[in-house]
Structure 1
Amino acid sequence: MTPDDQALGPEDYERAAQLWPSELLKRATNLLIVPTWLPGEDRFWFRHEHRDGHEFLLVDAATGARCPAFDHELAARALGGDPTRLPVEGVEYDGDSVILSVDGARLRIEPRDGSSTELPVPDLNGFLGPRGEELFVRDHNLWVRTPSGTERQLTTDGEEHYGWAEAPDASDDRIDRDRTGRPPGTIGCFWNPDGTRALVPRVDERAVTAYPFVENIPHDGDVLPKVRYVRGKMSGDAEDSRWEWYLLDVADGSRVRVGSLPGELRILPWHAWWTARGTIVALASTTAQDQAAAVEIDATTGAARVVYLEYDHMFRFNNVWFHDDNVRYLPERHELLWFTFASGWPHLWLIDLATGAARQVTDGDWVVQDVVRTVGRQVFFTAGGVEPGRNPYLRALYRVDLDGTEPNAGLKCLTPEDADHAFPAVPFGAVTRDSGQSADLRSCLAPSGKYFVDNISRVDLPPVIMLRDADGKDVCELARADTSGLDEIGWTPPEVFRAKAADGETDVWGVLVKPRRFAERDSWPVLERIYGGHQVLAQPRSFLEGLNGMFMFGLHSLAEMGFAVVLLDGPGTPIRSRAFRDLTWGERDRFGIKHHRAAIEDAARTRPWMDLTRVGVSGHSSGGYGTVMAMLLEPDFYAVGFASSPALDPSVSSAYVPEPHFGKPDYGDGRSARRTPDEIAPNYARLSPSTYAARLSGRLAIVYGDLDEQVEPPGVLRFTAALIDAGKDFDVLPLPGRDHHYTTEPYYQKRLWDYFVEHVQGRAPLRHHRLDVAPGERLHVT
């Protein structure tokens, strides 16, 4: 029995809720500034925050001179709000008038009398062409909408699961679309420069597995469950979605089919460029991402040829999945800027598309992170680890020339401070939505390449935002964070640490989050928040990420319950060398759990307050898999686990989840497709937690949503069946009606806190207590 004096009370939860992410964000200002540049100018507007509100400023980048972006009092009268707290999301200028985007609407405000007129809102589901026409999908067919609003149908043969430019089922939102009646998104339309033709896809999913999801509590109130089908290739399936590409004449709807590519290569719907040579350059890859290619398409005949092909068991066009690809077409010399680990480190190369010859643009034992912009014959990009001795994950902005005879020609660091210089990446795939305009204008680097906005911070260094020129010289300070509100409640930033992996040589970096009442004289149980996937960085780099990064959500509140929380990126994760990335490839311990354990033990050698006799682990999605494998592969270290939406069984998962993580299933004889429905690939069985279910010795909770399109519930239940067969005790929390994205719900967070309080600390949580906080939102990867 837990002593009554150790039981938690409401005050414990109130103290933790004070550090809820949205509450922390209310207490700090100017944590990240991304300017919006005026078309064709080196001027931009941004939102400048104060403790008691905010204002919108217009800045001349050449001089740093600033003025109000519009008349705030006039706008407040038109909007019926407070001039110091206007909910403006966008600012445009049309002569003397200003157009403000507010809550999904666009309002033109006249400067003379403050009158306002509502304007049409562009349909973000379509693709705008150079003449203002828009391609969009309706009833599985392509339509075009003129600037005047006239609509014309371009195709008539589209059908369900064989639609034109229609997002495939396996897009993580099919069930929500079914429940709400929302149409699928339009994808992959690439206009030619004069707006007369477009490269468009047609996706054939008719032969692909229709996976059944049971909606136990139907959205429409029906008392009987409904079955929702989502089509997508499952592990071991022979059939996959077939992507057909066409050259479509927008005037009459006539089409030319693009020729097929060798092997399993298929053109990707994210990047394609029409060239002045009568061709189209596009990117191609395989489902498993073990091959990538540059493809050139004859714009008249549709004939396609592979110009450049690369093999890599984990090819990436960027280190991080959710960032835009680090590939750019350079029309003046018909070249392609390429991103590859070919040298052992992720670097930029240049491909001559006429000859296929490739040469290296950047080189060294450091990491190119995001291409920010190409300007003329120069490339601006972020990189980490260039300066010796620094945290390799921190971003700095660099410039390099493309015409050098050797790599790193004219390489220059434009942000010298030992800090993170956050240049938020364009979200993956977004640049094609409206011909790149919004991505081009909403960027820390001016379209001209002459100026940039530099967000300078670390998890322990509040941001200072500088305006600088293309040589890195200061123009002016734009803003600096006010974190006095955090100081008022005694908030402390995460502690960055470096430790050794299990080989005793490899450096592992991460952060420690401590409670406000932390004292080194006390002993603190340790919790690890694990991810381990190859495609996303888990640890925070900037001050904003330290408050509410993608994997930091709720960690300050969790620590406040009496824990030291660890978040690290071990071998097998991105933004390091190929050797670091591949250290766990092919092992049953694919997520490098032994390296996580070794790093925590190494950190504890100089931090005796870390109590390694009481260690718990939690994670979501791939982190759920990592949590379960930690409990099974290192059971004498990790005693308590809380795994949500764990991608547990690669043999019964959507192929798009395990193949990039683990490689293709290998059934022998070179087969990656099963012969019988019950055939299990030996390499996947070796990676399945079910194989090791008998090793469970600690306390494990498993959480899942019954409508999770990324982690199919039957895969989770197969593991629970293996635990039952092994006679193991465990806890299960099913969340009805939830998809993959529920970890910011207060109910989920409290159940996580309580599990560790009860089973790691041995204290009694307060049952049936509702957290008085709003559901949160995780910061997207920046």
Structure 2
Amino acid sequence: MTTEKPTAPARDRLTAEEYTRAEELWPTELLRRVTNAVIVPTWLDGEDRFWFKHEHRDGHEYVLLDATTGERRPAFDHDVVARALGAEPRSLPVETFEYDGEAIVAVVAGREGRVRIDKDGSVSEAPMPAADAFRGPDGQEAFVRDHNLWVRDGRGFERQLTTGGVEHFGWAEAPDNDYDRLGRVGRDRAGAPHTTQGCFWSPDGRRLFVARVDERRVRAYPYLESVTHDGSVLPRVHRVRRKLFGDAEETRWLWHVIDAATGEQTVVDPLPDGLLIQPWHCWWTEHGTVLALAGTFAQDAAALVEIDAATGSVRVVHLEHDHMFRFNNIWFHDDNVRYLPERGQFIWFTFEDGWPHLWVIDVATGAPRQLTAGEWVVQDLVRVTDRHAFFTTGGTQPGANPYLRRLHRVDLDGDGPNAGLACLTPEDADHAFPPVPQGTVWREWGAQPFELRSCVSPSGRYFVDNISRVDLPTVTLLRDGEGNTVTELARADISGLEELGWRFPETFRAKAADGKTDVWGVIVKPRRFDDGEPWPVIERIYGGHQVLAQPRSFLEGLNGSFMFGLHALADLGFVVVVLDGPGTPVRSRAFRDMTWDHEDRFGIAHHRAAIEELARSRPWMDISSVGVNGHSSGGYATLMCLLLEPDFYKVGFCSSPALGADGSQAWITEAHFGRPDYGDGRTVRLRPDERAPSHTVWDPATHVDRLQGRLMLVYGDIDEECEPPVLLQFLDKLVQAGKDFDLLPMPGRSHYYTTEPYYQKRLWDYFVEHVQGRTPLRHHRLGVTPGRRLSET
């Protein structure tokens, strides 16, 4: 017996009321209606005590909890602080704070700097730590002035330590295009100082290990700012030094050891095999040497090296090759490495045995020893104590969702892998450590990003466990180091969401195109969902090898990085699918490499196969005209959906796509697709118009003749991550091929504009018009505010 597909009701025009109804599910509105979706502890220095923010429907309070007893009390006198700040005790605008004797020093929303609030309610300004200073022992600081390194002692006396620093060849300065939130163009527009990095004090305060960044020969890429920040009618050109794919010259970090008293310099020898010391992973040892992580620009090799501070000589302790090497599964998460000075060991992260696991390297001998092993994944290394490593895992339970995190502990000593391995979080749920990955939209961040706060206490004897799934509101427990519950901290209150009729996302498992490999994801449905009628399908896609798209926790399901606006979009009459197919992280090496070196690099065929399987068991999914939307790498994936599977994906809304290799920045392109090959292994372009044959198969321009559906292209005209000229060059290919397309420039925007209401309204309208066949309401302005998040990828 065949199940008939439901027939769509006739609908013509989208009404203002439908927009207003969708706005009820706008991200900031959803977040306003839930409390305690995540609890993030701030542990007191070296103690098993922490404070956290406990939310209520009518406000919040700050609680100090003693983990050894489970006793909780107010973190400070809320009435006193309320009078000091002119606020309500249950609505204090405190973003974060620290104790200072009988006072607290707080960052307060809407105020510059920090304030000190004494127990009698007196308020005074508290100096902010210098953001651009490298702090050393005994109150010493190193800082950059006019591209040179200076030092300041504990009494405030300053003196210059280096000379000769100039722009693009300065001391302890980040590269010109350092991928911070502003970018170089954004810094120019805001008048912000150049970012600093790469300076490390020795424990005795006598020497510094510091980089001098040389970009003098690196190409200066021009960005045209047409809508200028200062209101000028004339456009402004910003020139940003960056290595493009196929360029010979790249940023070089030239490392030195400098005597803090005399300024005497010891130059560090160049590293072999194109390795470069990474300016954020360096440690002084008790032997007067420096340990550092190094990697190639193409991210296809990594090493642990030791530098003799007296001579500058370099010893490679451990070297490893992998065409996609990184120290965590996911970009933007802390790297899974630690130096253990008391042991003379180093924790290393690798796919060496086919699965991402932790190893221990003996620094003196370079001998590696596997710390964890098995057909499961180490996700994040959370805390290392004198005896144990705490880390999250995925896939440890056969048949369970491999993306859900569980906290495990392993002994650092043992004859083999998994010594004393223990699961500390047995529930079939996501246990988030850290609970808020970068990119998740939340009401407030505070001065200290959540990523920097560990849920495990400094001693390792206690941890805060946020237990949830996309379909399970958060319950937050305090547990001891064996996983036993000490006390419940909070439960998420979703009554405000229930008042709206909000629906949990549905988790699914399906097969990839090979019919064997499991892929996982979620389906977002409209509030008025009825399985007796058809619902057109949209896929929100990313597809890159460095970031997960699907949500795992309740908070991510509500509004994770790739979930922004999806509940509102679905409410306009769609079901939206988000999945991670082969080629994406947090699975085995085999899963990650299934699409490597294939024409379909982002595994579009696997996404199609999964959606088709879902539709076979869910006849209400109308896949006659599937829409697809993605940003950045997801923009590239959106294009390839329309080009490689044009009979399935019919409508694409593609923003800031990471397009063809040639003309794009090298460090992203080479990581995604490998080094260029211009013939006979040559990796450097000889002519400006030369294209790498090895990469043309992945270039959307190669496949423009296949375009059949509707395509909207969106870009920010000062986007430093996905260059606007590369997009315009692709548009020229579309024009030459006689292909129709729609274009939405976002003037004065960089890479980060997808949370803007205007962008979301245009996205809604495009799918309403071209997937549903209805007429949107033109020139309708959404009555919502933009969401805020740390990054959008």
Please, what TM-score do these two structures have when normalized by structure 1?
A: 0.97
Q: 1:642 to 1:441 in 2, by over 3 A?
A: closer
In 1, are the aligned partners of 2:752 and 2:792 still within 8 Å (CA)? no
SS across alignment from 1:152: strand
- Partner residue, 1:167: 174
Is the aligned partner of 1:121 residue 2:131? no
- Bigger mean CA deviation after superposition, 438-447 or 32-41: 438-447
Once the two structures are TM-superposed, the CA of residue 110 in structure 1 deviates from its matched residue by: 2.1
- Partner residue, 1:750: 761
In 2, are the aligned partners of 1:631 and 1:639 still within 8 Å (CA)? yes
Is the aligned partner of 1:96 residue 2:106? no
SS across alignment from 1:24: helix
- Partner residue, 1:107: 115
In the aligned structure 1, how far is the partner of 2:117 from the partner of 2:771? 59
1:64-103 residue pairs with structure 2 within 5 A? Answer: 64-103=70-109
In 2, are the aligned partners of 1:550 and 1:779 still within 8 Å (CA)? no
- Partner residue, 2:218: 208
Q: 1:81 to 1:150 in 2, by over 3 A?
A: farther
Is the aligned partner of 1:335 residue 2:345? yes
Report the AA paired with residue 579 of structure 1: A
Is the aligned partner of 1:589 residue 2:600? yes
In the aligned structure 2, how far is the partner of 1:5 from the partner of 1:497? 30
SS across alignment from 2:694: helix
In the aligned structure 2, how far is the partner of 1:42 from the partner of 1:12? 51
Report the AA paired with residue 329 of structure 1: Y
- Partner residue, 1:315: 325
Once the two structures are TM-superposed, the CA of residue 779 in structure 1 deviates from its matched residue by: 6.6
In 1, are the aligned partners of 2:535 and 2:620 still within 8 Å (CA)? yes
Once the two structures are TM-superposed, the CA of residue 762 in structure 1 deviates from its matched residue by: 0.3
Once the two structures are TM-superposed, the CA of residue 686 in structure 1 deviates from its matched residue by: 1.1
In 2, are the aligned partners of 1:36 and 1:441 still within 8 Å (CA)? no
Aligned length: 772
- Partner residue, 2:443: none
- Partner residue, 2:583: 572
In the aligned structure 1, how far is the partner of 2:494 from the partner of 2:39? 15
In the aligned structure 1, how far is the partner of 2:429 from the partner of 2:436? 21
In 1, are the aligned partners of 2:40 and 2:435 still within 8 Å (CA)? no
SS across alignment from 2:598: coil
Is the aligned partner of 1:195 residue 2:220? no
In the aligned structure 2, how far is the partner of 1:136 from the partner of 1:493? 49
Deviations 1:680-736 (A, max 9, x none): 001211110000001100000100011000011111011111111111100011111
SS across alignment from 1:12: helix
Q: 2:141 aligns with which of 134, 140, 159?
A: 134
- Partner residue, 1:398: 408
- Partner residue, 1:364: 374
In the aligned structure 2, how far is the partner of 1:138 from the partner of 1:425? 37
> Structure 1 segments of 4 or more deviating over 6 A?
425-428, 437-441
- Bigger mean CA deviation after superposition, 46-55 or 676-685: 676-685
In 1, are the aligned partners of 2:437 and 2:451 still within 8 Å (CA)? no
Q: 1:479 to 1:293 in 2, by over 3 A?
A: same
- Partner residue, 1:722: 733
Deviations 1:137-161 (A, max 9, x none): 2221222233444433222211011
In 2, are the aligned partners of 1:597 and 1:637 still within 8 Å (CA)? yes
1:540-579 residue pairs with structure 2 within 5 A? Answer: 540-579=551-590
Report the AA paired with residue 73 of structure 1: D
In 2, are the aligned partners of 1:131 and 1:194 still within 8 Å (CA)? no
Q: 1:263 aligns with which of 273, 291, 316?
A: 273
Once the two structures are TM-superposed, the CA of residue 424 in structure 1 deviates from its matched residue by: 1.2
Once the two structures are TM-superposed, the CA of residue 780 in structure 1 deviates from its matched residue by: 5.7
SS across alignment from 1:221: coil
In the aligned structure 2, how far is the partner of 1:739 from the partner of 1:438? 22
In the aligned structure 2, how far is the partner of 1:439 from the partner of 1:759? 40
In the aligned structure 2, how far is the partner of 1:570 from the partner of 1:242? 36
Report the AA paired with residue 474 of structure 2: P
In 1, are the aligned partners of 2:285 and 2:341 still within 8 Å (CA)? yes
- Partner residue, 2:3: none
SS across alignment from 2:91: coil
In the aligned structure 1, how far is the partner of 2:102 from the partner of 2:353? 54
Q: 1:531 aligns with which of 504, 529, 542?
A: 542
In the aligned structure 2, how far is the partner of 1:461 from the partner of 1:526? 24
In 2, are the aligned partners of 1:441 and 1:447 still within 8 Å (CA)? no
Is the aligned partner of 1:771 residue 2:782? yes
In the aligned structure 1, how far is the partner of 2:773 from the partner of 2:11? 12
Once the two structures are TM-superposed, the CA of residue 97 in structure 1 deviates from its matched residue by: 2.2
- Partner residue, 1:634: 645
In the aligned structure 2, how far is the partner of 1:83 from the partner of 1:14? 34
In 1, are the aligned partners of 2:469 and 2:554 still within 8 Å (CA)? yes
In the aligned structure 2, how far is the partner of 1:147 from the partner of 1:756? 61
Q: RMSD of the TM alignment (CA)?
A: 1.8
Deviations 1:416-460 (A, max 9, x none): 1000001117989xxxxxxxx999983200011111000000000
SS across alignment from 1:326: coil
Deviations 1:508-560 (A, max 9, x none): 00000010000111100000001000000110000000111010001111111
Q: 2:520 aligns with which of 487, 506, 509?
A: 509
In the aligned structure 2, how far is the partner of 1:234 from the partner of 1:331? 39
In 2, are the aligned partners of 1:379 and 1:399 still within 8 Å (CA)? yes
Report the AA paired with residue 136 of structure 1: F
In 2, are the aligned partners of 1:129 and 1:195 still within 8 Å (CA)? yes
In 2, are the aligned partners of 1:212 and 1:228 still within 8 Å (CA)? yes
In the aligned structure 2, how far is the partner of 1:96 from the partner of 1:447? 23
In 2, are the aligned partners of 1:246 and 1:255 still within 8 Å (CA)? yes
Q: 1:457 aligns with which of 468, 490, 497?
A: 468
Structure 1 gap segments, 5+ residues each: 429-436
In 2, are the aligned partners of 1:167 and 1:187 still within 8 Å (CA)? yes
- Partner residue, 2:393: 383
- Partner residue, 1:22: 28
Deviations 1:724-771 (A, max 9, x none): 111110001111111000000000000000000000000000000000
- Bigger mean CA deviation after superposition, 653-662 or 417-426: 417-426
Q: 1:615 to 1:631 in 2, by over 3 A?
A: same
- Partner residue, 1:236: 246
Report the AA paired with residue 105 of structure 1: G
In the aligned structure 1, how far is the partner of 2:676 from the partner of 2:501? 51
In the aligned structure 1, how far is the partner of 2:98 from the partner of 2:190? 33
Report the AA paired with residue 127 of structure 1: F
Report the AA paired with residue 598 of structure 1: A
- Partner residue, 1:51: 57
Once the two structures are TM-superposed, the CA of residue 4 in structure 1 deviates from its matched residue by: 10
In 2, are the aligned partners of 1:548 and 1:778 still within 8 Å (CA)? no
In 2, are the aligned partners of 1:549 and 1:778 still within 8 Å (CA)? no
Is the aligned partner of 1:521 residue 2:529? no
Once the two structures are TM-superposed, the CA of residue 118 in structure 1 deviates from its matched residue by: 1.2
- Partner residue, 1:431: none
- Bigger mean CA deviation after superposition, 637-646 or 437-446: 437-446
In 2, are the aligned partners of 1:37 and 1:441 still within 8 Å (CA)? no
Is the aligned partner of 1:143 residue 2:143? no
Identity rate, percent: 67
Deviations 1:106-157 (A, max 9, x none): 222222x311221111122222223222222222122223344443322221
Once the two structures are TM-superposed, the CA of residue 291 in structure 1 deviates from its matched residue by: 0.2
Q: 1:742 to 1:660 in 2, by over 3 A?
A: same
In 2, are the aligned partners of 1:706 and 1:734 still within 8 Å (CA)? yes
In 2, are the aligned partners of 1:56 and 1:69 still within 8 Å (CA)? yes
In 1, are the aligned partners of 2:434 and 2:453 still within 8 Å (CA)? no
SS across alignment from 2:286: coil
- Bigger mean CA deviation after superposition, 454-463 or 270-279: 270-279
In 2, are the aligned partners of 1:572 and 1:590 still within 8 Å (CA)? yes
- Partner residue, 1:39: 45
- Bigger mean CA deviation after superposition, 168-177 or 507-516: 168-177
Q: 1:379 to 1:738 in 2, by over 3 A?
A: same
Report the AA paired with residue 555 of structure 2: L
- Partner residue, 1:432: none
